[in-house]
Chains A and B, each alone.
Chain A
Amino acid sequence: MKPRFLHVAAILLGVSTLALGAAEARPLKWAAAGDALTIDPHGQNEGPTTSLNQHIYESLTERDHAGKLLPLLASSWRVLPDDPTTWEFKLESGVKFHDGAAFTADDVVFSYERAMQPTSDFKGYLTSVEKVSKVDDLTVRIKTKGPNPLLVNNTSSIRIMSKAWAEKNGATKAQDFKNKEENFAVRNANGTGPFTLVSREADVKTVMKRNDAYWNKAKVPLEITELTLLPIKQDATRVAALLSGEVDFVQDVPVQDIARLKTQPKLRVNSGAENRTIFFGMDVASADLKGDDVQGKNPFADKRVRQAMNMAINRPAIQRVVMRGESVPTGVIMPPFVNGWTKELDAAPPTDVAKAKALLAEAGYPTGFSTTLHCPNDRYVNDEGICQAAVGMFGQIGIKVNLVSQSKSIHFNLIQKNPAETEFYLVGWGVPTYDSDYIFSYMYHSRTGSQGSWNATGFKDAEVDAMIQSLSREVDIPKRDATIAKLWTRLKDETIYLPIHHQSLSYAMGTALDIPVDVGNNPKLKMVSFKGS
């Protein structure tokens, strides 16, 4: 009786799988540490917000999980042959918004203009843009203030919304926090993306369902029928939810749990490098530091001191002990996917305490000195642990470091104040444009109104500034790459930053899934396909 029953069941099962076809479609519950702040596509330029919004809204281009730029709403693009300041984008035809309206050039022009408004958090990507105009329904031109050979790299960040929908609902601008009314687009969405919004309770759950009319259906698996984002802030609870099967995919796996999760037969853990490098910065310009015990002099202004400190850091030890293997030690503040990265630049100086001490003595500090290090404790993976380890390492060469760890809201403010209120600090940097120029303009260019906003070191070099500025105008790519290489050689030698490592990411999921780590940490769940049963 029993075997026959099983037999019948097997046949029935077989029939039903046949009926469904090869692809299996299932709901997916996705847990992350933080929730999106808004679903307004131009409201917040922040990791978790982008992770969610990219499933509802789409851009002209997209990045795959390895950071490669691919066409999306734009099928092709070019710089006009007779005008290096104008980019032309050909748009996909037959694209529909979730409300059924057709996607046209008007929506692109509208969305770019919306993203350039003062209340948008994405205007930084479009500062070089002078005007966006429609040529015909499926062609858009972007005119820049000067030649901008890399504009297309920024287009993957600017998501497109429906002009008619935004106008109808009074959401033609991103949320203005001075205004006391909530913007309609904060909790409602109408994009062209693979998922449509069903319901959203901020910090609780966001439910999306598969967009069965998705224009790009032929090119992506799109096997998730219902996608639920569940923010779970507490590390232990998030891991417990995965172990108990309440969620299928955990985006932010705590470093200390990776080893244990890997031993679970029903789970898979994927790790990979993130587009983010962690490093120390220091004030190399002030005449005298406030937080040290050296009077009338700034020890960081001496390159030998900086080199000695760079040598004192034992990067493999930080990787092994603090990061439990989940990082890639480096000698340059540039993640490996970025244009300009080379193996030679990435090589870190070997740890050499004796040589570091000798360099310090040569610089006039044979017994070292004391200083203050500012560190965030809630921003990067084990950020405070990295600082604590480094404090011990600097101590070995006689530099006594007083550590101040605090929340990112305070820490970043110290760095961004002008003049900066920290002389020695930890910071991390990701490169959304995948080009060295982004690092140069924010981290190495001297502080002007619009550039060098993260360069709290006071480093200022007219020649370097000129070279950095030339990058945004240079249309000859090989020539531009040569300038980038020259800049890196020069700047690495300056050692105004002490690179630690590229941060790694880990995703944990049931074995039916195999979601690769996304270098931007924005997993693309339209690419998910379920394996086996």
Chain B
Amino acid sequence: MLAYILRSLMQGLVVMLAVAFIAFSMFRFVGDPVVNMLGQEATLQDRAELTERLGLNDPVPLQFARFVGDAAQGDFGISYRQGRKVSSLILERLPATVELAVLSAIFAFVLGVALGVYAAIRRDGWIANLVMSLSLIGVSLPTFLIGIGLIYIFAVELRWLPSFGRGDTVALGWWTTGLLTASGLKSLIMPVLTLGFLQLTLIMRLVRSEMLEVMRADFIRFARARGIPERRIEFRHALRNTLIPVITIAGVQLGGVIAFAIVTETVFQWPGLGALFVNAVQFVDVPVMSAYLLFVAFVFVLTSLIVDLIYVALDPRLRSGNPAMAK
């Protein structure tokens, strides 16, 4: 078991290095940071000097080696855009993104499973049909439009919820939370709905089809033949078997939600990592971009490792022998 985790971590490290290198070699297509860092009065000499000072004249592999060397010591450099340490920028923005992502994942999972089960059991009911049709809209509408639509209904017309930002936050050590203030909670509602909506519809449709599949399986028929009550069959036997693939998907999705909350964060001016990254790309803030992409790779490596472990816990067959082989 321990050997398996260690091996996964080693693989993760290789993945992160590869991501970092690909990202790094692509940065020169994003533009030249020097253009943004100097005012329009800058002379050709000024630009040459700053380029030299930032080490941008060095070959890409050398720049990359320097970056990895510094990163290994926890030093991600200083943001070109804000003149602040990248590590503290990321730590400052992390709580906002994590709270948003975790809440929307919970929202999507709980409601998605409930609606999916309902739609599977009452397959022909009109509510189930309505939910299924609505979920199609959820899959096809871009996140951006959902966000703007919510803002216009709940912020501009009804004035119930704030249209942007995170509201008041409370600091718990270095972590800031919006969960402890009224304005913080109100600010969370629309971004959570927006970010969770696509996940919700995906999980719901997945649960429904898996459940329908399982309900046709032999063991359900045997259970029925034994006269076990229908409710018990549905929730005890069918749902449990349905959830294994759903949890896998939801777990991987959580990583994606944390990493790519970019659109939602931009629409709601949510001060998270996604917004930080968008600004960094526009400014060609290379230190922030590299650190962010490394962070995203880390999140994916971590979530897939955790999902693997949950898999092992859920499926007894994987526990004996080499789990990686059993897959």
Give the top 10 A-B pairs by smallest Cβ distance, nearest first.
Answer: A409-B31, A124-B41, A45-B39, A413-B32, A410-B31, A175-B83, A204-B271, A186-B83, A412-B35, A450-B43
Contact call B31/A413, Cβ cutoff below 8 A: yes
Contact call A244/B283, Cβ cutoff below 8 A: no
Please indicate the chain A residues that have their CB under 8 angstroms from the CB of B44 in the complex: 416, 418, 447, 449-450, 453
A353-411 at interface with B (beta carbon < 8 Å): 378, 407-410
A13 part of interface (Cβ distance < 8 Å) = no
Kindly identify which residue among B40, B42, B85, B165 contacts A182, using a CB–CB cutoff of 8 Å.
B85
B265-314 at interface with A (beta carbon < 8 Å): 266-269, 271, 275-276, 278-279, 282-284
Number of A-B contacts (CB under 8 A): 160
- Report the bound CA distance from A99 to B82 in whole Å: 25
Please indicate the chain B residues that have their CB under 8 angstroms from the CB of A430 in the complex: 40
> Contact mask A206-236 → B, CB, 8 Å, 1/0?
0000000000000000000000001111101
A237-253 at interface with B (beta carbon < 8 Å): 237-238, 240-241, 243-246
Please indicate the chain A residues that have their CB under 8 angstroms from the CB of B42 in the complex: 121, 124, 453
A337 part of interface (Cβ distance < 8 Å) = no
Contact call A236/B151, Cβ cutoff below 8 A: yes
Contact call A241/B163, Cβ cutoff below 8 A: yes
Given contacts A124-B41, A378-B282, contact A237 B166 (CB under 8 A): no
Contact call B152/A240, Cβ cutoff below 8 A: yes
Interface size class of A (residues with CB under 8 A): 35 or more
Please indicate the chain B residues that have their CB under 8 angstroms from the CB of A412 in the complex: 32, 35
B30-48 at interface with A (beta carbon < 8 Å): 30-33, 35-47
Contact call A237/B269, Cβ cutoff below 8 A: yes
B75 part of interface (Cβ distance < 8 Å) = yes
> Contact mask A181-210 → B, CB, 8 Å, 1/0?
111001100000000000001111100000
The dominant DSSP class at the A interface is loop
Contact call A124/B30, Cβ cutoff below 8 A: no
Contact call B163/A454, Cβ cutoff below 8 A: no
Contact call A409/B284, Cβ cutoff below 8 A: yes
Please indicate the chain B residues that have their CB under 8 angstroms from the CB of A2 in the complex: none
Please indicate the chain A residues that have their CB under 8 angstroms from the CB of B81 in the complex: 37
B226 part of interface (Cβ distance < 8 Å) = no
Scoring B41, B54, B148 by chain A CB atoms within 10 A of each residue's CB, the highest score goes to: B41
* Distance between B116 CB and nearest chain A CB, rounded to angstroms: 32
- Report the bound CA distance from A46 to B37 in whole Å: 9
Kindly identify which residue among A240, A447, A454 contacts B156, using a CB–CB cutoff of 8 Å.
A240
Contact call A246/B163, Cβ cutoff below 8 A: yes
- Report the bound CA distance from A246 to B183 in whole Å: 13
> Contact mask B80-96 → A, CB, 8 Å, 1/0?
11111100000010000
Which B residue's beta carbon lies closest to that of A418? B44
Given contacts A186-B84, A418-B44, A447-B44, contact A178 B53 (CB under 8 A): yes
B224 part of interface (Cβ distance < 8 Å) = no
Which A residue's beta carbon lies closest to that of B78? A180
- Report the bound CA distance from A105 to B162 in whole Å: 47
Which A residue's beta carbon lies closest to that of B88? A182
* Distance between A204 CB and nearest chain B CB, rounded to angstroms: 4
Given contacts A241-B164, A416-B35, A449-B44, contact A233 B78 (CB under 8 A): no
Contact call B36/A246, Cβ cutoff below 8 A: no
Which A residue's beta carbon lies closest to that of B80? A177
* Distance between B96 CB and nearest chain A CB, rounded to angstroms: 9
* Distance between A376 CB and nearest chain B CB, rounded to angstroms: 11
- Report the bound CA distance from A139 to B77 in whole Å: 42
Given contacts A409-B30, A416-B47, contact A202 B165 (CB under 8 A): no
B232 part of interface (Cβ distance < 8 Å) = no
Please indicate the chain B residues that have their CB under 8 angstroms from the CB of A175 in the complex: 78, 83
Which A residue's beta carbon lies closest to that of B276? A203
Please indicate the chain A residues that have their CB under 8 angstroms from the CB of B275 in the complex: 203, 233
- Report the bound CA distance from A157 to B11 in whole Å: 54
Which A residue's beta carbon lies closest to that of B47? A416
Contact call A124/B78, Cβ cutoff below 8 A: no
Please indicate the chain B residues that have their CB under 8 angstroms from the CB of A201 in the complex: 92, 271
* Distance between A531 CB and nearest chain B CB, rounded to angstroms: 24
Please indicate the chain B residues that have their CB under 8 angstroms from the CB of A182 in the complex: 78, 83-85
Kindly identify which residue among A180, A183, A243 contacts B77, using a CB–CB cutoff of 8 Å.
A180
A43 part of interface (Cβ distance < 8 Å) = yes
Which residues of A line the B interface, CB within 8 A? 37-38, 40, 43-46, 118, 121-125, 175-183, 186-187, 201-205, 230-234, 236-238, 240-241, 243-246, 378, 407-410, 412-413, 416, 418, 429-430, 442, 447, 449-451, 453-454
- Report the bound CA distance from A479 to B323 in whole Å: 88
Please indicate the chain A residues that have their CB under 8 angstroms from the CB of B283 in the complex: 409
Please indicate the chain A residues that have their CB under 8 angstroms from the CB of B85 in the complex: 180-182
- Report the bound CA distance from A243 to B154 in whole Å: 12
- Report the bound CA distance from A454 to B85 in whole Å: 32
Given contacts A180-B77, A234-B266, contact A118 B38 (CB under 8 A): no
Contact call B37/A177, Cβ cutoff below 8 A: yes
Contact call B35/A409, Cβ cutoff below 8 A: yes
Please indicate the chain B residues that have their CB under 8 angstroms from the CB of A38 in the complex: 82-83
Please indicate the chain B residues that have their CB under 8 angstroms from the CB of A176 in the complex: 53
- Report the bound CA distance from A449 to B275 in whole Å: 38
Which B residue's beta carbon lies closest to that of A378? B282
- Report the bound CA distance from A194 to B326 in whole Å: 70
Contact call A180/B75, Cβ cutoff below 8 A: yes
B58 part of interface (Cβ distance < 8 Å) = no
Given contacts A37-B81, A177-B83, contact A410 B30 (CB under 8 A): yes
Contact call A177/B54, Cβ cutoff below 8 A: yes
Kindly identify which residue among B39, B77, B268 contacts A124, using a CB–CB cutoff of 8 Å.
B39
B230 part of interface (Cβ distance < 8 Å) = no
Please indicate the chain A residues that have their CB under 8 angstroms from the CB of B32 in the complex: 409-410, 412-413
Contact call A122/B156, Cβ cutoff below 8 A: no
- Report the bound CA distance from A202 to B38 in whole Å: 19
Given contacts A183-B83, A454-B40, contact A240 B151 (CB under 8 A): yes
B213 part of interface (Cβ distance < 8 Å) = no
- Report the bound CA distance from A240 to B165 in whole Å: 13
- Report the bound CA distance from A187 to B267 in whole Å: 26
Given contacts A178-B54, A409-B30, A409-B36, contact A233 B269 (CB under 8 A): yes
- Report the bound CA distance from A83 to B26 in whole Å: 55
Please indicate the chain A residues that have their CB under 8 angstroms from the CB of B53 in the complex: 176-178
Given contacts A45-B39, A175-B83, A240-B151, 10 further A-B contacts (CB under 8 A): A118-B49, A121-B38, A121-B39, A180-B78, A186-B83, A234-B266, A236-B148, A246-B163, A453-B42, A453-B44
Contact call A244/B83, Cβ cutoff below 8 A: no
Scoring A38, A44, A125 by chain B CB atoms within 10 A of each residue's CB, the highest score goes to: A44
B185 part of interface (Cβ distance < 8 Å) = no
Given contacts A182-B83, A205-B165, A449-B44, contact A231 B78 (CB under 8 A): no
B76-116 at interface with A (beta carbon < 8 Å): 77-78, 80-85, 92
